[in-house]
Amino acid sequence: MLDEKMKVVDNLCIAKDTWKMTLVGRQITEEMKAGQFINLQIEGKTLRRPISVSSFDGGMASVTIIYKIVGEGTQKMSEMKVGEEIDVLGPLGNGFPIEKVASALLIGGGAGVAPLVQLARDLKAVGAQVKAVIGFPTAADVYGVSELEALGADVVVSTDDGSKGFKGNVMEAIKDKDLTGDVVYACGPVPMLKGVEGGFDRGYISLDIRMACGMGACMACVVKDKENPEKYYRVCKEGPVFAIGQVEL
Amino acid sequence: MSKDRQNVNNDRLRVSLPGLEMKNPVMPASGCFGFGREFAELYDLSLLGGVVMKAATEKPKFGNPTPRVAETPGGMLNAIGLQNPGVDKIIEREVKWLKGFDTCVIANVAGSAVDDYVRTAEKIGAAEGIDAIELNISCPNVKEGGIAFGTDAKVAAKLTSEVKKVSKVPVYVKLSPNVTDIVEIATAVEAAGADGLSMINTLMGMRLDLKTGRPIIANKTGGLSGPAIKPVAVRMIYQVYQAVKIPIIGMGGISASEDVLELMYAGAAAVAVGTANFTDPFACPKIIERLPEVMDKYGIDKIADATGLAHRV
């Protein structure tokens, strides 16, 4: 975990209320893994904004995040100009374990599509065939297709209203197209993750939850173990990635 | 952080309170720092005047459902619910570990009834490495105990005297601002034998989600902290300082060295920094580093001289 001043080198709108920002730092990418997150200090805001890493480039010490404008903090982020500096804490959390498998199925919903980009790259690097099913409310919300396809992933898009790709949610798309993999990786809203846990035994889910410190100290973001009610995990520290069936959703 | 090192042995910053000989008056507040392990990855905890540990209860406590936090203008609400691994594990793992740093260690003790408060205080007060107890009678986020002990002067005094009977270390009673007259509670616990006061805990608040119409925090209400509550802390410390002789550890919205001075002027002998640790994990060492410069600006030679200055001018 490092605290770095990073420079905004890119910040643009890629879908409805969805922005992509690239930051350049010094060492923050050295230990970074797919599925980890960074915690950004926003001027005038008490709490940092934890945003998952969409992709990173170790050689350039650059990190790309994809974030949705949901309130004042993310609105302020969208107004940041190229060249501005932002205080970043990271990398945080555990990240996705990269399994050496023949095929992997990546499932993303909304903002949860973002971290699948680096994940697809890392899985490709170990020789896995990568399929990605990504779901959004409507065509205007869709992003990530070109990034995932550029990495050689087969991409299926679903929208709730059918305005782009399959009409329905990601689980319905998976069923309809009979998609599978040796291991699944999922990131998205809790109902989607519950669907993933209902459909697959082997794989990982990544959780999105309100945090305060983002580094394991404040106990704001805890989840309970599914088997042992006495056991709990801090999503920011022991998570955000958990094995399917590990935590109470 | 090389400059911080110079401040470690800066005599101007030393403060002395019952059980606490501190190299500077700044410590992280209970609940905002865990047991320090995460922050120790970022800086040397020996830079701190002290560490106030996350609350300890007799048995392990999971706390409240999530969401447990929500941002507010100039601060945040939290309703963690005193999640902690229980006093035995805290002594075994955390106190032993914190002992390795050259800093004061204060144990925050919470409970649901007089009996478990007393047993927890007795145990942790006897643990090697604990310099003082902060008696938490002001947590607004638990159904039993907590604030119920901090809003009635007689109940607060009774608990204080029972804990004082068993504690091997000085006891600082942490007061709630959610009362009509904080001076009444402060004088009652002083009369009951408290060695010092710690104030203020969070102010009870609530936020609603406009989409759902429901409270954002699962517990419905939470404790408000952060810069927004600093004026309340200053006012309450000012009032209590006039009425008691025991020292006050001041907290509530400190995020800069200037805020340390302000709470000390009001009457604090030392301070704790809470929510600011979330905004900037280096908040405490940065505040300590800049303190001499701010003291120079306002003509304060020794930081201890700042305590209660507002009452002498």
Which amino acid is residue B272, in one-letter code? Answer: A
In angstroms, rounded to a whole number, what is the distance separating the alpha carbons of residues B3 and A190?
46
Other Cβ atoms less than 10 A from the Cβ of A228: the count is: 8
pLDDT at site B140: 78
Over residues B221-234, the mean pLDDT reads 98
pLDDT at A86 over 50: yes
- The per-residue pLDDT for range A105-127, each reduced to its tens digit, is 999 999 999 999 999 999 999 99
Residues in chain A within 8 Å Cβ distance of B66: 209-210, 220-223
Residue A222 and residue B63: Cβ atoms within 8 Å?
A: yes
**In this model, does residue B7 exceed pLDDT 80?**
no
* Strand partners for A87: A5
d(CA A241, CA A112): 12
Q: Are B110 and B95 in contact (CB under 8 A)?
A: no
pLDDT of residue A172: 97
pLDDT digits (tens, 9 = 90+) for B183-223: 999 999 999 999 999 999 999 999 999 999 999 999 999 99
Distance from CA of A74 to the nearest CA of B (A): 13
Q: What is the nearest CA distance from A1 to chain B, expressed in angstroms?
A: 7
Rounded mean pLDDT, B233-256: 98
Give me the pLDDT at residue B58, please: 97
The interface residues of chain B toward chain A in range 18-37, judged by CB-CB distance below 8 A, are 31-34, 37
pLDDT value of position B78: 97
Calpha distance A183→A202 (Å, rounded): 6
Chain A residues bordering chain B (beta-carbon distance below 8 Å): 1, 3, 41, 45-48, 73, 87, 89, 209-224, 230, 232, 237
Checking ipTM against 0.90, whether it exceeds it is yes
CA distance B186 to B176: 10
Count CB-CB contacts under 10 A for residue B204: 17
Among B154, B96, B145, B140, which Cα is nearest to B120's? Answer: B145
Mean pLDDT of A44-70: 96
Residue of B nearest to A92 (CA): B38
CB-CB under 8 Å, B278 with A213: yes
Q: pLDDT class for A229, splitting at 50, 70, 90? A: confident
pLDDT for residue B8:
59
Mean pLDDT of chain A: 97
Share above pLDDT 90 across residues of chain A, in percent, rounded to a whole number: 99
**Whether residue B139 lies in the annotated active site:** yes
Dist. CA A79–CA B304, nearest whole Å: 44
Which sign does the torsion angle of CA B25, B29, B30, B33 carry? negative
Share of residues in chain B with pLDDT > 90 (%): 93
Judged by a CB distance cut-off of 8 A, whether residue B221 touches chain A is no
Which secondary structure element, helix H or strand E, spans residue A15, and what is its range?
strand A2-15
Confidence of residue B147 (pLDDT cuts 50, 70, 90): confident
Q: Count H helices and E strands in chain B, helices first.
A: 11, 14
Q: Token pair of B252, please?
A: 């509530």
Going by C-alpha positions, the residue among B187, B195, B87, B179 that lies closest to residue B140 is B179
Test A223 with B66 for CB contact under 8 angstroms: yes
Q: What average pLDDT score do residues A160-173 get?
A: 97
Contact present, B176 and B147 (Cβ < 8 Å): yes
Domains defined for chain A, CATH in brackets: 2-92 (2.40.30.10), 103-205 (3.40.50.80), 209-249 (2.10.240.10)
Which pLDDT tens digit goes with each residue over B29-58? 999 999 999 999 999 999 999 999 999 999
- A3 and B71 in contact by Cβ < 8 A? no
